[in-house]
Amino acid sequence: MTRERESLSDPKAMRALAHPARLAILNKLNAGGSATATEVAEIAGITPSAASYHLRMLAKYGFVEDAPARGDGRERLWKSTDKPLVIGMLSDDQPEVREAKGLLIQAVRREAEEEVRRVLAGHDREPKEWRDVIRFNRTLLRVDATEMAWLNEQIEKLLQPYVARHRSEEAAPSGARIAEAQVNLFPRAERIAPGLPTEDHDAG
């Protein structure tokens, strides 16, 4: 993926982020607002003490930070930062960086696929107005590298005004809720043809 802001390049940061609980915590905080370790623990399905540890690790690599206190201020609040969660597979990446990027991409894709499974499982319970606008699209393109880079930039520009972390509930229209865009642009890798079967198992 390309984008105006620099993509992730620190292998230690990427390995730290490639953890299901940390991705779940970061997604919770990226939806906007702040949360305590106990609140994100419920989302990630872990104990509050484990959530505190994961939050500290996310903070170490700049993905989250302290948020302004609320109430009596006894609980520590966290919020996400503007650190870009962008993974670009660059031609000059060192092997360690390329391996870390691969691990993080796989972790992000697993969580993204789980989100899709939850949507499909609960589709019938969604209001009609939401069911009618859900889309899963897979389109084959014929582009060169320059055109694909341009598409990346245009898609980001289109989505930017709606990013939950920067668009408050007050600024969004009535009825707005957290939605997710999953965008992947990549050149197709050569698919090795399996060849013809030795027997026609469908015959007869």
- Whole-angstrom Cα distance, residue 10 to residue 98? 10
Q: Is residue 110 part of a domain?
A: yes
Domain count, the chain: 1
Reported as a pLDDT band with limits 50, 70 and 90, residue 97 is: very high
Among residues 66, 76, 77, 80, the alpha carbon closest in space to that of 23 is found at 80
**Model confidence pLDDT, tens digit, residues 107-160:** 999 999 999 999 999 999 999 999 999 999 999 999 999 999 999 999 999 999
- Whole-angstrom Cα distance, residue 128 to residue 141? 31
Give the helix ranges, DSSP H, for the chain: 11-17, 20-30, 37-44, 48-60, 95-121, 128-131, 145-159
pLDDT at res. 193: 77
**Model confidence pLDDT, tens digit, residues 46-94:** 999 999 999 999 999 999 999 998 877 778 999 999 876 778 888 888 9
Domain holding 40, by residue range, is 11-129
pLDDT at res. 4: 40
Torsion angle defined by CA atoms of residues 56, 20, 183 and 36, in that order, rounded to the nearest 10 degrees:
-40
Q: Is residue 15 part of a domain?
A: yes
Give the CATH number, domain containing residue 56. 1.10.10.10
Q: Is residue 31 part of a domain?
A: yes
Give the helix ranges, DSSP H, for 122-187: 128-131, 145-159
Q: Is residue 88 part of a domain?
A: yes
Q: Is residue 83 part of a domain?
A: yes
Q: Is residue 48 part of a domain?
A: yes
Q: Is residue 1 part of a domain?
A: no
Q: Are 86 and 100 contacting, i.e. CB atoms less than 8 angstroms apart? A: no
Q: Is residue 172 part of a domain?
A: no
pTM of the model: 0.77
